[in-house]
Chains A and B, each alone.
Chain A
Amino acid sequence: MHGTHRIVSKTQLSEEVFRIEVEAPLVARERKAGQFVIVMYDEEYSERIPLTIADADPVRGTVTLIFQTVGASTHKLALKNPGDEIVLLGPLGNPTHIERFGWAVCVGGGIGLAPLYPIAKALKEAGNRVTVISGARTKDLLIMQNELAAIADDHIVVTDDGSFGRKALVTEPLKELCMLSPPPDIVVAIGPPIMMKFCAETTRPFGIKTIASLNTIMLDGTGMCGGCRVAIGDQTKFVCVDGPEFDAHLVDWNGMMMRLGTYKEIEKEAHDRCHLEMQIAQLKAHAADKEPAK
């Protein structure tokens, strides 16, 4: 039986953020901006973890995934090393609708900067003027900055704590851009749900079309479980097959955030245990590195 994929490289981008490159030639060839994959750190007991695709190299046959160790499962994934095999299914979801809108503002928060990059790149390639707003809690969590800077016509960087760029939330520069004449033609926002919600609230009074990419709880990613369902206007949609991108002005953000918290208590306990284990593993690895060669 075939179906696992080899990790070819792993880079730790910050204390909590990892980048892995996985050998998956078919996925690398088929994937388009906006799509995601589901990974598992093993075939028996792993949770199914939806991750957005940050980049792909169809020639080398690899996809790049960037993830933050937010829970027990992402911690276990972070413990995998080059040469290890993981489960990877994809590409899932609908690709981003790309066309020449005119002026596109791409807003990314934290780990959301990873999936934002291929979308911003595709928008640029389609002939749009692309403004990128990169935001994070702190300097260490700003990722994909070189890549984004390379394709953006304008690049605005903000951090919550002012450790890099402007000390602000992404909604501040976003609002300023919306007030310009002419305003942006489209806004794409990817990041924590609360950030996307406030981006939607920022653009709403200006009537600027705003797209958000949702990352909800899901199991199969093919429409079978319905765990990812979210109210979009007066309809219930499945993020995995109807999304992951939706009109941010129609998303029931509060409902979605409540659903994301379904397993909060159970996950917190598992996460704390795993975080400790990972720190111990890193300390051990560190100690082994320091040991003189025999």
Chain B
Amino acid sequence: MSHKEEFTMDNAEVELAKLRAAPITPKIRLQIPPQDMPVQDPVVRRSTMDEVALGYTPAQAMLEAERCLQCKNAPCIAGCPVRIDIPGFIGKIKEGDFLGASKIIKRTNLLPSICGRVCPQETQCQAPCTVGKALGSVEKAVQIGRLERFVADYERAQGAMEMPHVASPTGRKVAIVGAGPAGLTCAVDVRREGHEVTLFEAFHKPGGVMVYGIPEFRLPKVLVQSEAEVLESMGVDFELNFLVGRTRPLRALLSEDGYDAVFIGTGAGLPKFMNIPGENYVGVFSANEYLTRANLLKAYMRGVAGTPIYPSRRVAVLGGGNVAMDSARMALRLGAEEVHVLYRRTREEMPARAEEVAHAIEEGIIFDFLKSPTRVLGDDRGRVAALEVLSYELGEPDESGRRRPVAIRGSEQIIPFDTVIVAIGNESNPLISHTTPELKVDKHGHILVDEKQKTSIDIHMKNS
């Protein structure tokens, strides 16, 4: 591994020097290949929770930054949900001013080490990138996420974590429900304006899906923890093990506890199941359960952690998103001999990030495309023994634009498995709306808001 790393490092330095020997035209920039990120050897990483992707070296980052055309209209910024000045920070990387790059990112995003790792860049900032468009593939876009991660890791390594400025106190108090990505981001923005902020979190650690769902090997928990600590040092108050709606009614926050506003960032936390026979057999898990055991509750530390994990040999993961990839790769690391991902469509239609799919394949995950289970078969002790699986073929495009999978009649086959992980998405968690009747929701349980994202609960109820 170390040989490979040295090779890429040397190579990037040499390439960079060669490139900079003469003026760099846009044409030349388009000829620089996207820089791959060094990764742990697939065989080694199958049995460790350590992070898979190792990050760019400074030379690699500068070489990748040279690919950016610094477009005046900056389509990438429009693709970024928090509108980071992407050409601005990439420009600083080119100059070798990595801390300067970090400053620019942190104007609008305080969580770059996290976003750089887990944002779906290929559908956001990198999707409209001019370089990718010119080269005919989004995969060839400037690797904005990798650069963001590089800058964040560089800052951390320098011990130069900068504290965002907090405006003078406004005397206003804001309650934020849920310390996941939305809640943490909102907390930073609101605190910066000088308001008092309390984050309420049901779990015993802040981070939401970043601590219970996304595995250590993709997002080290120490990063989430340290981002939360930055918030704490800005004066954000964390109330952990606090379930708004149960520990305290939401309306009491407004009417009795003196909060002037409440932000609901409770996410989509009700796992969907397939609704096929046998789904309650022992050995069928929602991805949420499987990953929460393994990540937040550290079940991989057998003998130390109190939370057990199911001993699996042959695992079927149902679904084609990032959560399915995380579940499959986690099962492998926890000792499964063979892990299959069953997906109703093909690799093309998979919603998972391309990089995650590639990593999963490298690690030996087996993909069974155009397959979906019709029932779970159990043994006499009620444990999963096999799946009955139906094959599909792609038909006409559906409303999502993807070709609709059509079942092939009579194609059922029985495949032995001892564990099934259902990773087909989540619905909105009804807890907050059930315990807050005045909060209006639609038929899916999604909170109804106006054009300013305000819910049906009027702040004036505070005085009523």
Contact = CB atoms under 8 A, between A and B. Distances in A.
A20 to B, nearest CB: 16
Interface in B269-311: 269-271, 273, 279-283, 285-286, 288-289, 292-293, 297-298, 301, 304-308, 310-311
**How would you classify the secondary structure of chain A's contact residues: helix, strand, loop or mixed?**
mixed
A27 B201 CA distance: 15
A89 B247 contact: yes
Given A92-B246, A219-B292, A236-B279, A263 B308 contact: yes
A225 B280 contact: no
Interface string B238-267: 111111001111000000000000000000
Given A219-B292, A227-B289, A236-B280, A3 B242 contact: yes
A90 B243 contact: yes
A277 interface: no
Nearest to B247: A26
**How would you classify the secondary structure of chain B's contact residues: helix, strand, loop or mixed?**
loop
Interface string A250-268: 0010110011011100110
B249 to A, nearest CB: 8
Given A90-B246, A241-B430, A225 B289 contact: yes
B273 A224 contact: no
A273 to B, nearest CB: 9
Nearest to B241: A3
Nearest to B238: A1
Contacts of A1: 206, 228, 232, 238, 240
A263 B273 contact: no
Contacts of A92: 243, 246
Contacts of B307: 46-48, 219
Contacts of A258: 281-282, 381-383
A103 to B, nearest CB: 31
Contact of B269 (A222, A227, A231, A267): A222
B286 A225 contact: yes
A192 interface: no
B121 to A, nearest CB: 27
A6 interface: no
A27 B301 CA distance: 32
Contacts of B305: 45, 47
B429 A224 contact: yes
Given A46-B306, A48-B307, A30 B246 contact: yes
A241 B271 CA distance: 13
Given A89-B247, A236-B280, A2 B382 contact: no
B289 A47 contact: no
B198 to A, nearest CB: 10
A40 interface: yes
Contact of B202 (A26, A76, A220): A220
A225 B288 contact: yes
Contacts of B369: none
Given A219-B289, A220-B292, A267 B308 contact: yes
Given A2-B240, A43-B205, A48-B297, A224 B270 contact: yes
A73 interface: yes
A107 B317 CA distance: 42
Nearest to A228: B289
A36 to B, nearest CB: 11
Nearest to A44: B298
Contacts of B202: 89, 220, 222
B409 interface: no
A30 B203 CA distance: 19
B444 interface: no
Most buried by A among B237, B247, B304, B311: B247
Interface in B189-237: 201-206, 212, 228, 232, 237
Interface in A1-42: 1-5, 26-27, 30, 40-41
B241 A91 contact: no
A222 B243 contact: yes
A241 B431 contact: yes
A60 to B, nearest CB: 18
A188 interface: no
A219 B310 CA distance: 14
A65 interface: no
Interface string B371-383: 0000000000111
A87 B241 contact: yes
A230 interface: yes
B247 A30 contact: yes
Nearest to B302: A266
A226 interface: yes
B247 A266 contact: no
Contacts of B212: 220, 224
Contacts of A90: 243, 246-247
Contact of B241 (A44, A72, A88): A88
A249 interface: no
Contact of A91 (B247, B297, B381): B247
Most buried by A among B237, B238, B243, B286: B243
B297 A219 contact: yes
A121 B243 CA distance: 26
10 contacts: A2-B238, A3-B239, A43-B204, A45-B304, A88-B241, A222-B431, A223-B431, A226-B270, A258-B281, A266-B308
Interface of B: 201-206, 212, 228, 232, 237-243, 246-249, 269-271, 273, 279-283, 285-286, 288-289, 292-293, 297-298, 301, 304-308, 310-311, 381-383, 429-431, 434
4 nearest A-B pairs in the assembled complex, by CB-CB distance: A3-B240, A258-B382, A47-B306, A225-B289
